[in-house]
Amino acid sequence: MDIIQVNDNRIVKVFRYIKARFSGDTHEPVQIGPFGDDSCPPKGIKGVKAPTSTDAIHVVLGYFNRNNKASAGEKRLFSVKEDGTEGFYTYFKNDGSFELGGTADYAVRYNELKKGFDQLVTDFNALVTKYNAHVHTSNGAVTTNTGTTSSADISNSKISQITTP
């Protein structure tokens, strides 16, 4: 089987060993796909069906994607709305990057962010403690400072279901 690109369509070129039969009747082929891959195309999407070794059973081999974006070595998964417009996507790019629904923002390495944030809280609290220990005298009265230490925490921002190397 060879895959070729023609006018933004991926065409699968297969050498068949049997003669295809076209009877003109309507078939309801079973959609097949890799295990764990569950998708349902919106109404009106064109697909390719083929008979199996049992003439009464036809299967859908795939669907025509008129909006190809992935280049060689890339993988893109996407959903579509009922009207066929793109919904959400994941995009594994051949430069080693990954897009999760867009490019407007960035994901972070939580452990490194937490380490830096915790150091910032520690440094801030040390400064507040030093500030509070400093005493001012004015007209014979002693003025003490009342800075408040931080108990800021970013633990709730962690998404445990998404991890990285």
Question: What is the signed CA dihedral for 132, 135, 138, 141, rounded to 10 degrees?
Answer: 90
Listed by start position, the domains of the chain span 1-68, 69-106, 110-157
pLDDT string in tens for the chain (165-residue length): 344 444 555 444 333 344 455 544 555 677 777 788 878 777 777 788 788 887 667 777 888 887 789 999 999 999 988 887 888 899 999 999 889 888 888 888 888 899 999 999 999 999 988 888 877 777 767 777 788 888 888 888 888 777 766
Gyration radius of the chain over CA positions: 30
Q: What is the 3-state secondary structure (H, E, C) of 130-156?
A: HHHHCEEEECCEEEECCCCCCCCCCHH
Mapping DSSP to helix (H, G, I), strand (E, B) and coil, where does residue 4 land?
A: strand
Which pLDDT value is given to residue 14?
39
- Distance between CA atoms of 59 and 46, rounded to whole angstroms? 14
- The closest alpha carbon to 68, from 110, 8, 23, belongs to 8
